[in-house]
Amino acid sequence: MRRHHSIRWAIRVILLLWIIVGSLAWGENEPLKKPSVFEGIGNTAEQVGKKIKQGFTKAATKLREKQIRTKVERKLKKAGTKTAEGFEKARRKMDQKLNR
């Protein structure tokens, strides 16, 4: 039993050393110009940020072109006029019923 335990321990140590040495050797063979994972993530995040900014800029331009403010003002004015007309109509009906 003790022998199996020590064999397992030795195999684990050898595997660990093999992984470390292999990763170091692989790292030396990599070209230095290749960006790291974190640099790649940073670059991607920067590109996404630029795309979002472009999207907001385009949306703002479209809103200005469509003159949303004047359209909203017209619709509110029309709604106010319709409401006033509705109240006037209701007042006339009430007057007619009270005067009969």
Question: Per-residue pLDDT for the chain (100 aa), expressed as one digit of tens each?
Answer: 566 667 777 888 787 777 777 666 555 555 556 667 778 888 888 888 888 888 888 888 887 777 777 888 899 999 999 999 999 989 888 888 888 7
Give the model's pLDDT for residue 66.
Answer: 77
* pTM (predicted TM-score): 0.34
Give the model's pLDDT for residue 79.
Answer: 92
Give the model's pLDDT for residue 60.
Answer: 82
The answer to whether the beta carbons of residues 13 and 20 sit under 8 Å apart is: no
Give the model's pLDDT for residue 3.
Answer: 66
Give the model's pLDDT for residue 30.
Answer: 54
Residues 6 or more apart in contact with residue 61 via CB below 8 angstroms? none
How far apart (Å, rounded) are the C-alpha atoms in residues 88 and 54? Answer: 50
Which class for 21: exposed (0-12), middle (13-18), buried (19 or more C-beta within 10 A)? exposed
Give the model's pLDDT for residue 45.
Answer: 85
